[in-house]
Structure 1
Amino acid sequence: MSLRNLPEVRAFQKPEWLNFDAPHENVEAFDPAVVSASGDDETTITIYGQIGLDPFTAVDNTERRIAAALRAIGNREVTVSINSPGGSFLSGLAIYNLLRAHPAKVTVQVIAMAGSAASVIAMAGDDIQMADGSFIMVHKASAISMGNEFDMQDAAELLAEVDASMAEVYAARAGVDRKIAASWMERRRGDGTMFSASSAIQHGLADRKLNASAIKVKAEAPKIVPHERVLENALMAAANMSPQQAKAFVAEMKTGTRDAPVITVTRDADDLRAAIEQLRSTINA
């Protein structure tokens, strides 16, 4: 069990009519080239890319893979290396529970980004270390939903329950009242708060800085353009769609439904990009 006695989060079942995605701005700022220098260690679990199973790239950051990795490690101490823009909050909460239940010490290293659902996973660390230029992003859960009035009510209720669970985790880790943690998530109408390494340590969301030698930049890793953005741009160019129409069309394709309303979220894209560039400069220095 967690050495810090962190709270267990109850399991949530994802309805078919609700889908979670990492915020577009997080994905755009995400740099897949930043990885752990010791990622091949048998007691290190790497979580790179979107949380959950990415249907476009087949990158597997699901609770199933993390559970299998923890079984292979056994009762030994484990290091979890995170560089993720977020993704499925429900998978993130499940992974948090798995790491919390691990019988030995869990060290979390945020090497670039722990955004959205990935920030919940990071909170499971008994010792949370952050690289200079890295950041933790917390915000209220957002999703794409479809259906009738009752489905929308159910979606709102589920999102409120997920928000409450996340606030409880952040509050327990930081040692603050849950209302304070909720206020971090509620800033800018739910867009949330971005914590730099120093700020996260100051607020109790991390413990210490990570040595720069612990991370590296893979020269061969290309910058990934979100598939959704590629499709949106193509639709705007070829079908003369507005950005809103293109987003709605892509959302419909992903959910397999018609007229799926899209909840758009605006993040601090410029700040995120600046933080990533600062991190890369630190590594290359």
Structure 2
Amino acid sequence: MSLRKLPEIRAFLPGDLIQFEAPDSAVARFDGELQAAGRPGDPVISIYGAIGRDPYGDLDNSERRISAALSSIGERDVTVNINSPGGNFFSGLAIYNLLRAHPAKVVVNVLGMAGSAASIIAMAGDEIAMADGSQIMIHKASGVIVGNTYALAEGMKLLAQVDEVMAEIYTARTGAAAADVVSWMENDRGNGTVFLRDEAIAKGFAETKMTAIPIRVAASAAKNIPAEREVERALMAAHGLSASEAKARVAALKTGARDAAEPATRDAGALVAALTAASMTIRA
């Protein structure tokens, strides 16, 4: 069990039509080449790249992998190395709860970035250490909602719930006033606040500076940009779609609205009218 009095988040159910991705601002700052060198068998869990499981590749930063790793480690102290811009909020929350429930000490090392959903995971550490130049980024949940008034209302309610959960975790971990945490999340119209190492320690998001550990630079490491993001950018370039239109188009395809895709190719301006199912993309 966590050595700290951290909240366990229960009964927080995602909607069936929700898709997640790391925010653009975090992806732009993320350097996926920073990784810790380690030895097989060490009680170490590495979380590099987007949170969640990439259905189109080998990247697996899901709660299933972390649960299996913790089971293998057993009741030993565990070190979690993080370098991630964020990703699937519910996967991040599940991993937070898994680490919080671990019966031994959990040490989190922030090698480069713990952004968005990855910052939620980091908060589960009994001790959080940050490397030179590393950062923790928090923000309000944001999304693109396509659908009728019911879908819009449901989406707004869910976004508010996600914000409340994140604020609760940050407040409990840092000991900061709840109002201050909310203001950090709301900064820059909800794009949030980036805390570099020294400020993160001062604000309570971490305790210590990392001691020197072997770091390897994976020169061929992918930036782990979600596949849907690449499709969105291709649509924007090829068809002149706006960012929100491209996101809605990809969300429609992922929710099975096949009839919506073809008209949208011919007439991007008619995209919203062509969608037959509500969909939502949340960045957390």
Taking structure 1 as the reference length, what is the TM-score of the superposition?
0.84
Does the Cα contact within 8 Å between 1:53 and 1:60 map onto a contact in 2? yes
Q: How does 1:1-285 map to 2 (within 5 A)?
A: 1-38=1-38, 40-224=40-224, 226-257=226-257, 258=260, 259=272
Q: How big is the shift at 1:185?
A: 0.7
What stretches of structure 1 of length at least 5 have no aligned partner? 266-285
Q: How big is the shift at 1:250?
A: 3.0
Mean Cα deviation higher: 136-145 or 33-42: 33-42
1:140 match: secondary structure: coil
Does the Cα contact within 8 Å between 2:3 and 2:126 map onto a contact in 1? yes
Does the Cα contact within 8 Å between 2:19 and 2:281 map onto a contact in 1? no
Identity of aligned residues (%): 54
Does the Cα contact within 8 Å between 1:20 and 1:144 map onto a contact in 2? no
Q: How big is the shift at 1:46?
A: 0.8
2:76 match: secondary structure: coil
Q: How big is the shift at 1:226?
A: 5.0
Instruction: Name the residue aligned to 2:266.
Output: none
Q: How big is the shift at 1:133?
A: 0.9
What stretches of structure 2 of length at least 5 have no aligned partner? 261-271, 273-277
Instruction: Name the residue aligned to 1:279.
Output: none
Work out which of the two has the higher radius of gyration on C-alpha atoms and give 1 or 2.
2
Q: How big is the shift at 1:166?
A: 1.0
Mean Cα deviation higher: 145-154 or 93-102: 145-154
Paired residues in the alignment total 265
1:189 match: secondary structure: coil
Taking structure 2 as the reference length, what is the TM-score of the superposition?
0.84
Task: Give the partner amino acid of 2:227.
Answer: H
- Over residues 176-208 of structure 1, what are the superposed CA-to-partner deviations in whole Å (9 max), with x where a residue is unaligned? 222221111111121111000111001010011
- Over residues 146-176 of structure 1, what are the superposed CA-to-partner deviations in whole Å (9 max), with x where a residue is unaligned? 4332222122112211211111111111112
Distance 1:55 1:142 in 2: 23
Does the Cα contact within 8 Å between 2:96 and 2:122 map onto a contact in 1? yes
Distance 1:167 1:204 in 2: 14
Does the Cα contact within 8 Å between 2:20 and 2:282 map onto a contact in 1? no
Q: How big is the shift at 1:240?
A: 4.2
Question: Taking structure 1 as reference, are residues 243 and 190 closer, same or farther at Cα in structure 2, changes over 3 Å only?
Answer: closer
Distance 1:79 1:27 in 2: 24
